[in-house]
Structure 1
């Protein structure tokens, strides 16, 4: 019973933390693709809904990766045949964040991504190198071992936030918000 109550309290605290960022503008962030193309968030994605996944530790990056295939199939992959025309017009970016001493590893991470990640997914992966503190404060992400996801509206305002490993329920909620 004690474990259940503690789990419930932690879950409620997570929901409250996410609720605190909903309605705020996503803070300015400059990231780059594997080809070193600069992308300024949220400025470069304004005009349509955007799903961003952020991770700032090795463990959280592994959980971020659990979202790649389901998000690709749901929002990126073009549908053909009878289902063509039912796709989503949404920006999607997964952003591993390299901060502090780890910032030097960005180049290595890019090369590793080019070798190990499906080439169809590479355009949707951005690498951030810089300070973590402004994002931790603005986005309320304190647990370094989990990834954080934000749905931005057409203006760059956060309309939904979640965190952790992929689940169908989380993806369904993201889809509901985007629709």
Structure 2
């Protein structure tokens, strides 16, 4: 029992250390595309307000990335009216499946599948990256290919918070807290 607790504590500390290594760094330049082939340059095109980015570079991590779609949509994208309108966030949000190496050829197929399978309200928030993975793995310190990675950027493109894995309410609370602090 104690061994299991210590193992869990060590994993939590390691996860914090990995995330802490990217905090304060500027998000590396990335050019991605919408399903309509419109180019978006990160972080250049999102400067001026907070941005939540979710990155995935394997099929399994993409499945976990999808677990974030609905909660993020409800919290940051969906426009509210009435009394709750003053409590909405003005942030950029992008989910970015990354196609690298031999998988880069599948980008067009993935865009067509997204058009068919993703709620049209979410489509503008999905970007497709095709290119090298190594610069992002090094800069963003993500080594586990089977989980998605999330980064909160400040208005200048600096990473102010990072987390990874499947959606949980606790992770969402931490993201909100970071955005509320500024």
TM-score bucket of the superposed structures, by smaller chain: over 0.9
Structure 2: gaps (5+ residues): none
What TM-score results when the alignment is normalised by the length of structure 1? 0.97
**Matched residues in 2 for 1:19 and 1:167: separation?**
20
Per the alignment, residue 93 of structure 1 pairs with 94
- Equivalent runs, 1:28-39 vs 2, <5 Å: 28-39=29-40
Q: CA shift at 1:5, angstroms?
A: 2.6
Q: CA shift at 1:133, angstroms?
A: 0.3
Q: CA shift at 1:102, angstroms?
A: 0.3
Deviations along 1:77-126, whole A, 9 cap, x unmatched? 00012212321110000000000000000000000001001000000000
Deviations along 1:118-156, whole A, 9 cap, x unmatched? 000000000000000000000000000000000000000
1:10 aligns with 2:11: yes
RMSD of Structure 2 on Structure 1 (CA): 0.9
Moved over 2 A (4+): 1-8
> Which SS does the other structure have where 1:85 is aligned?
helix
Per the alignment, residue 64 of structure 2 pairs with 63
- Equivalent runs, 1:131-170 vs 2, <5 Å: 131-170=132-171
**Matched residues in 1 for 2:43 and 2:127: separation?**
13
**Matched residues in 2 for 1:164 and 1:41: separation?**
22
Structure 1: gaps (5+ residues): none
Deviations along 1:16-68, whole A, 9 cap, x unmatched? 00000000000000000000000000000000000000000000000000000
**Matched residues in 2 for 1:85 and 1:7: separation?**
39
**Matched residues in 2 for 1:18 and 1:86: separation?**
28
**Matched residues in 1 for 2:108 and 2:14: separation?**
36
**Matched residues in 2 for 1:43 and 1:102: separation?**
26
Q: CA shift at 1:4, angstroms?
A: 3.3
